[in-house]
A and B are shown apart, each in its own frame.
Chain A
Amino acid sequence: MDSPIHRLDPRAKFILTLGFFTTTLMFTNIFALLTIFLMQTPLVILAKTWSRWIRSMRGGLLMGIFIFAMNYIFGTSLALAIAFTLRFFTIMSAFSLFFMTTSADDLGLALEQAHIPYVISFTFTTAVRLVPTMAVDAQTVVDAQRSRGLELDKGNFMKRVRNYIPILIPLIISAIRRSVELAEALEARAFGASKHRTTIVTLRMKPADHLVTIFTFLGLFVATYVYFYVTLPSLVIPIQIPRLF
């Protein structure tokens, strides 16, 4: 995949993502959150990751519903429950956009150039890289246990939760086995032998990257101003929340 967003320096993209993250946490006002959420839409379109973005949002749906329900039942107002749900989707959208447009290699490079120890940046990029492998493993484990008569969606709630034990244990064990093998293979290839690693590719901020960074700080400044000096219209929903507790 290639797009202007993909080509941005990972550090600039990360600053942008953190910008979205911070501003999202500043507000509980629905209109402010909606604005931040909608500001990401052109970026998603520009990055040509529309369908993957939708899929990732759909993946968060269950969690979103959970957040809404919890805040609705135990919270103070419906508007706040909507706001927290919106906040979750905004943060998720920002991070999905970042991970969908940044390769694990670029991420590793960015971390290294930020003087983060190589062991840590390597661990992080390996974790990111192993996600698809784990997904394939998970499918194989599900297939293997279904072939032994396991019916995941059978029984009451507790039974269904227990049904996942035969899936989770092999998955965790094989992940541990794989990590041990990986560690041994790395050691056999002299991982960490030289303290100061050099890289062929060095990341360099281009004008576009500087522009993104400047806009992010500008956005943060505007958000701070709005937070302290502007009264945002609040959403009044004439629905009483049943008081349970």
Chain B
Amino acid sequence: MISIEDVSFHYPGTTQDVLDNVTLSINDGEFVAIMGENGAGKTTLVKMLNGLLMPAKGRVLIDSSATGNKSVAQLSRDVGLIFQNPDHQLFAETVSEELSFSLRNFGFPEDVIQRRVTSILESLDLRKYSNTSPFILSGGERKRVALAATLVWNPKHIIMDEPTIGQDYLQKDRLRNFIVQLISQGKTIIIVTHDVEFVAECNPRVVLLSKGRILADGPATRILTRSDLVTKASLVRPQITELMQRLNEKGAPADIVEPYAARDFLTPKLHAAADAQTSTR
């Protein structure tokens, strides 16, 4: 379990609080999307979870142990943080070597390293690139290598900073399925994102952050459907929500964010309407 207790933070040399009395707790196996405007403090907040940043006030507990008592390497064993830009971390000659880097840092034996690298290459559809230089891959592929480079050591809690940037729709869909799979394995997933449509499709718990404070916290169906809240966090409602809310007076539920839920609601209605039209002709 991750608990953030009354945390405030400001960067050295500044007085402006980037985080202002933030309290948040995330259970094991939960899927949370942290959303908010640029500079709201989202990345700062997640950097606290593996000890890259320490709170100026308050404390962060990972599985009941305060982050102040452990090194970044020790914390990272349980908290995998995947950075936004893969170019900030890829350095090895081949994708396989890139993936084994962290395993070597954590002191895994060589046979385990081989096994894990092979298995993660397989599950992220990267096997054909195992001996390729990560630098010649496309942006989306490099992003997947960075994701694999963290998932390979099997951390309990996984944090992704802007995972959908530069990904085409098919890759986003794969990422979503992959997240679902990870959750079914009991992993905690935290994503930091601006991508409202992606969040709507995943329908996780949403934490809205604005100016370093928590503006709202709850299921996506309750947060992303409120235009006052999303506007405050410089976001817009998902397109499907907007459509359903416009159809609200015709009986459509106003708290739908998932396109699949909308499809299930609309399809029988449209069929019925079409049938009615044919029968009146």
Chain A positions near chain B (C-beta within 8 angstroms): 137, 140-141, 143-151, 165-166, 169-170, 173-174, 177
Contact = CB atoms under 8 A, between A and B. Distances in A.
Interface string B69-104: 001110011001101010111110000000001100
Contacts of B76: 146-149
A166 B83 contact: no
A147 B87 contact: no
Interface string B225-264: 0000000000000000000000000000000000000000
Interface residues of B, number: 25
B88 A137 contact: yes
A170 B145 CA distance: 14
A146 B87 contact: no
Contact of B71 (A144, A145, A151): A151
Contact of B88 (A149, A150, A165, A170): A170
B150 interface: yes
Given A143-B83, A174-B88, A148 B47 contact: no
B105 A177 contact: no
A208 B106 CA distance: 62
B83 A151 contact: no
Nearest to A178: B87
Contacts of B91: 165-166, 169-170, 173
Contact of B89 (A145, A151, A177): A145
Contact of A147 (B52, B85, B90, B135): B52
B210 interface: no
Contacts of A148: 76, 89, 101-102, 105, 149-150
23 contacts: A137-B88, A140-B85, A146-B52, A146-B72, A146-B73, A146-B76, A147-B52, A147-B76, A148-B76, A148-B102, A148-B105, A149-B73, A149-B76, A149-B77, A149-B105, A149-B106, A150-B101, A150-B105, A151-B71, A166-B91, A169-B91, A173-B91, A174-B87
Nearest to B84: A140
B52 A140 contact: no
Interface string B47-84: 10010100000000000000000011100110011010
Nearest to A151: B73
A169 B98 CA distance: 12
B106 A143 contact: no
A28 B26 CA distance: 65
Nearest to A177: B87
Given A149-B106, A169-B91, A144 B77 contact: no
Given A137-B88, A148-B105, 20 more contacts: A140-B85, A143-B83, A147-B50, A147-B52, A147-B76, A147-B81, A148-B149, A148-B150, A149-B102, A149-B153, A150-B73, A150-B101, A151-B71, A151-B73, A151-B105, A166-B91, A170-B88, A170-B90, A170-B91, A177-B87
Nearest to A140: B88
A141 B73 contact: no
Given A150-B73, A151-B73, A143 B105 contact: no
A144 to B, nearest CB: 4
Q: Which 3 A-B pairs have the closest CB atoms?
A: A149-B105, A169-B91, A144-B89
Which of A141, A148, A165: most chain B Cβ within 10 A?
A148
B105 A147 contact: no
Contact of A173 (B102, B135, B153): B135
Contacts of A169: 91
Interface in B137-176: 149-150, 153
Contacts of A146: 52, 72-73, 76
Contacts of B77: 149
A94 to B, nearest CB: 26
Contacts of A144: 83, 88-89
B155 to A, nearest CB: 10
Interface string B30-57: 0000000000000000010010100000
A173 B73 CA distance: 25
Nearest to B91: A169
Contacts of A166: 89, 91, 101
B41 to A, nearest CB: 16
Contacts of B47: 143
Contacts of A174: 85, 87-88
Nearest to B82: A147
Contacts of A147: 50, 52, 72, 76, 80-81, 83, 150
A148 to B, nearest CB: 4
Nearest to A149: B105
Contacts of A177: 87
Contacts of A143: 47, 52, 83
A166 B83 CA distance: 15
A150 B77 CA distance: 11
Contacts of A173: 87, 90-91, 135
